Amino acid sequence: MSGNTFGQLFKITTFGESHGEGVGCVIDGCPAGLELSSNDIQKELDKRKPGQSKITTTRQESDTAEILSGVFEGRTIGTPIMIFVRNKNQRPEDYAVLKDLYRPSHADYVYEAKYGFRDWRGGGRASARETIGRVAGGAVAIKFLKDKAGLEFVSYVEQIGDIKADVDYREVMIENVEANIVRCPDQASAQKMTELIEKTREQGDSLGGVIVGVVRNAPVGLGEPVFDKLSADLAKAMLSIPAVKGFEYGSGFASVTKRGSEHNDEFYAENGKIMTRTNNSGGIQGGISNGQDIYFRVAFKAPATIGKEQRTIDKKGKEAVLAPGGRHDPCVLPRAVPIVSSMAALVVMDHYLRQKVSKS
């Protein structure tokens, strides 16, 4: 009931605190027979690891994944897959000063109120370090869906602060995303975004943005009426990522000003395959995938940790001043791209298994 598990059939439970022994996940429900190695995991983890470029935090961590159960002779055996990443570059002493302070727009206060007690070292469980477990689990889902059904997950940065890239979601390839450190497939915009992030860091401030997620080749029929719509589960998955403030799929908020006659996606058939001429539905109708590309947008706020002094209070309600933060990301989006893909893959994988029992 504590909310550390995601999924119904393909279940992932993450564990670990930012400055504890390590972080990781247990995946329960991965079908037997998938080829899987720690490289498959590491590849995704490397995209979210700190210190990977000049625009991320300067903390250096290798974030090395160990698969400690569930794989035998290079294949999954249907038992829980436990993946562990030991914490290394911990400096809890960096955080000692935060022990009694409530950082603005952080989870310090609510954790203290909820649990009567908290691990104040680097955010503890509320740290984005927790998402390592998600990316590890997502890597398994990505591998499975690619190997067994040809699905592809592509996520990319569309906007950082005021800079919005001009990108058609249908044309983005992973190579273009990985071609720059911002992970924006529009290389010109990527350059501007990089400069903005560097400048903002110098100013002691931080930036938000938008990540777009795309799922290609999803079969028709994923999603369960009425609560577990594919769109609903994607929304939950994205809003569960730290710093996310909004989600929309297909036409999203822009649909609001469209008439029904403009917005409806006309069906047609080609070589026996049913398609739609437009895709305002974002590949999901009635909560169920219709075979078109699934795409959605995720809004991230600027990180709460900034390089400026801030006013706040301590545990006793006394006014206090919070010193500028230490090693942190001025903008989380470049490192959040693999997290968005991972969460999307976890959702799709779960529904991929769930739809196997729809018909008799």
Cis peptide before 226 (omega within 30 of 0): yes
Q: Is 137 a residue that touches a copy of itself (CB under 8 A)?
A: no
Which of residues 173 and 245 has its CB atom nearest to a copy of itself in the complex? 245
Of the listed pieces 38-46, 165-173, 179-187, 300-308, which binds a copy of itself according to CB under 8 A? 300-308
Of the listed pieces 23-31, 44-52, 56-64, 178-186, which binds a copy of itself according to CB under 8 A? 23-31
Contact 175, 185 (CB under 8 A): no
Q: Is 292 a residue that touches a copy of itself (CB under 8 A)?
A: no
Which of residues 124 and 185 has its CB atom nearest to a copy of itself in the complex? 124
Contact 125, 144 (CB under 8 A): no
State the DSSP code for 143. Answer: H
Compute CA distances 151 → 12, 52, 244, 292, 345, whole Å: 20, 27, 25, 12, 9
Interface of this chain with a copy of itself, residues 26 to 85, rule: CB under 8 A: 26, 28-29, 31-34, 66, 68-70, 72, 75-82, 84
Among 20, 52, 64, 217, binds a copy of itself (CB under 8 A): 20
Among 46, 53, 62, 109, binds a copy of itself (CB under 8 A): 109
Which of residues 186 and 233 has its CB atom nearest to a copy of itself in the complex? 233
Among 168, 175, 226, 321, binds a copy of itself (CB under 8 A): 226
Among 94, 287, 326, 327, binds a copy of itself (CB under 8 A): 287
Contact 287, 229 (CB under 8 A): yes
Which of residues 29 and 174 has its CB atom nearest to a copy of itself in the complex? 29
For residues 147 and 153, what is the distance between their CA atoms, to the nearest angstrom?
13
Q: Which helix (H) or strand (E) holds 324?
A: none
| Residues 332, 334, 339, 341, CA torsion sign | positive
Question: Any residues with CB less than 8 A from the CB of 35 and at least 6 apart, and which?
Answer: 74, 75, 143, 147
Q: Is 252 a residue that touches a copy of itself (CB under 8 A)?
A: yes
# residues near a copy of itself by CB under 8 A: 153
Shortest distance (Å) from residue 159 CB to a copy of itself:
6
Q: Is 353 a residue that touches a copy of itself (CB under 8 A)?
A: yes
Which of residues 130 and 186 has its CB atom nearest to a copy of itself in the complex? 130
Q: Is 93 a residue that touches a copy of itself (CB under 8 A)?
A: no
Q: Is 21 a residue that touches a copy of itself (CB under 8 A)?
A: yes
Q: Classify residue 23 as left (phi > 0), alpha (psi -120 to 50) or beta.
A: beta
Burial of 96 (0-12, 13-18, 19+ CB in 10 A): exposed
Shortest distance (Å) from residue 323 CB to a copy of itself:
14
Of the listed pieces 42-50, 51-59, 170-178, 250-258, which binds a copy of itself according to CB under 8 A? 250-258
For residues 351 and 241, what is the distance between their CA atoms, to the nearest angstrom?
20
Token pair of 184 as six digits: 């924006």
Burial of 114 (0-12, 13-18, 19+ CB in 10 A): exposed
